[in-house]
Structure 1
Amino acid sequence: MSIKLFIPGPTDVEPDVLQQLATTQIGHRSKTATELQKRISEKLQKLMYTDNTIILSTSSGSGIMEMAIRSCTQKRAAVFSVGAFGNRWFDMAKRNNIPADIFTPEPGKGVRPEMVEDVLKTGKYDVVTITHNETSSGIMNPVDTIGEVVKQYPDVLYLVDAVSSLGGAKIEVDKCGIDICLTSTQKCLGLPPGLSVASVSERAYNRAKDVPYRGYYLDLVNVVDRVKKNYQYPTTPVTPLMWALDYKLDKILEQEGLDHRFARHEKLANIVQKWALKHFDLYAEDGFRSHTVTTILNTKGYSVAELNQALMERGYMISNGYGSLKEKAFRIAHMADRQEDDLLDLLSIIEEIWNL
């Protein structure tokens, strides 16, 4: 029995998109590969509202996260975290011997621009990292207003993890002043896992040139140099996923359209959040709630594990709370190509199982 996934990645993949993975293999140094990678870059620039260089990485989004913080930090990184994946930036910094400090709002609260201002005015930092959309907490940070603060500090680079939001929420990279904006294929883009992408500003590229120990596989300068030269990569790329990404970007840009796609995600979020407030409560504060995944407080003390087992018997799957929120909360994702009818069916089944 197939399971409809309402988890924050991986998401369900449409059959016609999966079929693209079977495209005939090509030489990754061939003209065909160059043309494929160039098309993908141009389409991603439209999705991300940017003129910056686009890079692809045969890794999860964590690969480009590590590339970004390692290649761009000369002095010290200020990591703003509202959950487990914000914490990951800080863990990566420590494991790479990069000076960094972590700043965390109260539980359920988002990162406010004034919090970033208070940190940057110390003059200690040359990098800011933000998780745009935190799947563990269901918090979406305001990368636009935070970006306005960062712009006041010309020597500070702005790195944004948009793994669980790009393609589901509008992120105007250039307008926000984002130097590196990264995502993965298995979430809002509705593709299998295994490929991550990012936009890279000239500021980030030039900064990285002055950072001596960038590693090899995740060397930002080496990757950008190859892309600028001929849309190639230093190591073997995952061409099957590139075929699928090329095809899926056409569906997003030309068939659904960006405005409609963003509005659909926001509508689904509003449906789930209204339902949650009727029966339970929400972890994220008002004004900072995600458009792609909702974290619902388990105020009635039901077993989330048992709920998920019952849901799977009916062909659905949600997520338990993450980390310390396990069984204290549950998460319903509404991203990628999820439609309203399926979401309403899921909520109705939960009401039936828990007799709400």
Structure 2
Amino acid sequence: MPASKRDHTVLFTPGPTEVAPDILREMGRPIIGHRGIEMQDLIRDLVPRLRGLFGTRGYDVFLTACSATGLWEAALRNCVTRRVLVPVCGAFSERFYEVAVACGLEADPLHVEWGKAVRAQAVADLLATGRYDAIALVHNETSTGVVNPLPEIAEAVRRQSDVLLLVDAVSSLGGIPVEVDRNDIDVCLASVQKCLALPPGFSVCAVSPRALERSARRVGKGYYFDFIRLKSCFDRSTPMATPSVSHMFALRAQMKRIETEGLDARYARHRAMADLTRAWAAGRLGLFAEERARSNTVTCVANTRGIDVARFVAGLVARGFGISNGYGRLKEATFRVGHMGDHTVEEIRDLLAAMDEVLKEMAA
């Protein structure tokens, strides 16, 4: 159904994104006890499905009732013993660095110009100094629409046997290949409100045996996000603490939906939606991300015409569409379109037509 005919603003923001009605209905299922056989069965159903999504055969998978920010802390507290390198190429990777510092860890930023991708060689050069035992990478920087070259960076990390690779896949998991096993990622984390198209407030992560070994030697890592404690619970198919049962119902339904579509088809659909959006932006305004690093899940449009972004966004809301302005210091310089989750190419066409209408109205 076109957004203009729905009873709410349809979200094309880069998270949270639109949630399908049948998935929302799953959130309304009667609650089950979290210490009984029904919960064990639910976890036993979810974990292998999530392994397939992450691209891992045997990593431990944990489900947590928190935003991905909590799993940033988990990855850092469990896996950093000496010093962590954090490539900073936008607002969220900058925050990943800030969280490392707030956790009392030794951390160094690798600053990259916003709109450009992290260079694997720059990572390799710094890791070769031997100062670091972990790197914390944002795969897809939601604030700038940049996707970092994960396979190349992973190869640089692989050359240093004692460096763990911690990856934020918040706006890529389910929309862009992550391939945990192939890229030797030690912790891969994501929240569910972006490419997985679920309501916000829940996160998942895949954790390698190396990360668990590191965690077992760590002290002062807290309780709720202790990987060893989490593993002891999920090995018995039980949550560590009270979970968001409703999210787990919705996640099971969404995983079945993703499997029906197929990951390759899902990635192709995201790429097609991105191509349409990028073509629209290039023809009317501009693109903020460099050409070789443009994300297939979020496009950051450069405001080259100096339009009133707030008025533009409001004009779209009046037509039933929600997008986002620029993030942080890019608030007026850009706006962002999320083409992720369960959106279709036709829905993107409807959005772009509405964007043309608003631009024409603003120019009148």
Superposed pair shares fold, TM > 0.5? yes
Alignment of 1:337-356 (within 5 A): 337-355=342-360
Alpha-carbon distance in structure 2 between the residues aligned to 1:275 and 1:307: 15
Cα contact 1:181–1:198 (8 A) shared by 2: yes
1:8 to 2:14 alignment: yes
Alpha-carbon distance in structure 2 between the residues aligned to 1:33 and 1:110: 41
In structure 1, the partner of 2:209 is 202
In structure 1, the partner of 2:3 is none
Alpha-carbon distance in structure 1 between the residues aligned to 2:232 and 2:129: 34
| Structure 2: gaps spanning 5 or more residues | 1-6
Cα contact 1:214–1:220 (8 A) shared by 2: no
| Moved segments of 4+, more than 2 Å | none
Question: Any idea what the Cα deviations from partners look like across 1:189-236, whole Å, max 9, x if unmatched?
Answer: 0110111000000000110111101111122221122112x0212211
Alpha-carbon distance in structure 1 between the residues aligned to 2:265 and 2:328: 34
Give 1:297 deviation, angstroms. 0.5
AA partner of residue 332 (structure 2): E
1:313 to 2:302 alignment: no
Task: Report the secondary structure of 1:176's partner residue.
Answer: coil
Give 1:73 deviation, angstroms. 0.3
Give 1:108 deviation, angstroms. 1.3
Q: 1:181 aligns with which of 185, 188, 191?
A: 188
Alignment of 1:188-337 (within 5 A): 188-228=195-235, 230-253=236-259, 255-337=260-342
In structure 1, the partner of 2:134 is 127
Alpha-carbon distance in structure 2 between the residues aligned to 1:335 and 1:33: 29
Q: 2:24 aligns with which of 15, 18, 26?
A: 18
Give 1:143 deviation, angstroms. 1.0
Give 1:340 deviation, angstroms. 1.2
1:39 to 2:45 alignment: yes
Alpha-carbon distance in structure 1 between the residues aligned to 2:151 and 2:281: 27
Give 1:144 deviation, angstroms. 1.2
Alpha-carbon distance in structure 1 between the residues aligned to 2:213 and 2:239: 19
Alpha-carbon distance in structure 2 between the residues aligned to 1:73 and 1:114: 22
Task: Report the secondary structure of 2:109's partner residue.
Answer: strand
AA partner of residue 158 (structure 2): K
Give 1:354 deviation, angstroms. 1.3
Cα contact 1:320–1:330 (8 A) shared by 2: yes
Cα contact 1:76–1:98 (8 A) shared by 2: yes
Task: Report the secondary structure of 2:50's partner residue.
Answer: helix
Alpha-carbon distance in structure 1 between the residues aligned to 2:314 and 2:114: 29
Question: Any idea what the Cα deviations from partners look like across 1:136-181, whole Å, max 9, x if unmatched?
Answer: 0000011111111111111000000001110011111000010010
User: Structure 1 length normalisation: TM-score?
Assistant: 0.98
Q: 1:136 aligns with which of 136, 143, 151?
A: 143
In structure 1, the partner of 2:55 is 49
Task: Report the secondary structure of 1:259's partner residue.
Answer: helix
Question: Any idea what the Cα deviations from partners look like across 1:54-91, whole Å, max 9, x if unmatched?
Answer: 00111001111111011110000000121111011111
Alpha-carbon distance in structure 2 between the residues aligned to 1:35 and 1:152: 40
Task: Report the secondary structure of 2:181's partner residue.
Answer: helix
Task: Report the secondary structure of 2:66's partner residue.
Answer: coil
Q: 1:82 aligns with which of 84, 89, 95?
A: 89
Aligned length: 354
Alpha-carbon distance in structure 2 between the residues aligned to 1:246 and 1:47: 12
User: Structure 2 length normalisation: TM-score?
Assistant: 0.95
Alpha-carbon distance in structure 1 between the residues aligned to 2:228 and 2:132: 21
Give 1:127 deviation, angstroms. 0.4
| Structure 1: gaps spanning 5 or more residues | none
Give 1:325 deviation, angstroms. 0.8
Task: Report the secondary structure of 2:293's partner residue.
Answer: coil
1:28 to 2:34 alignment: yes
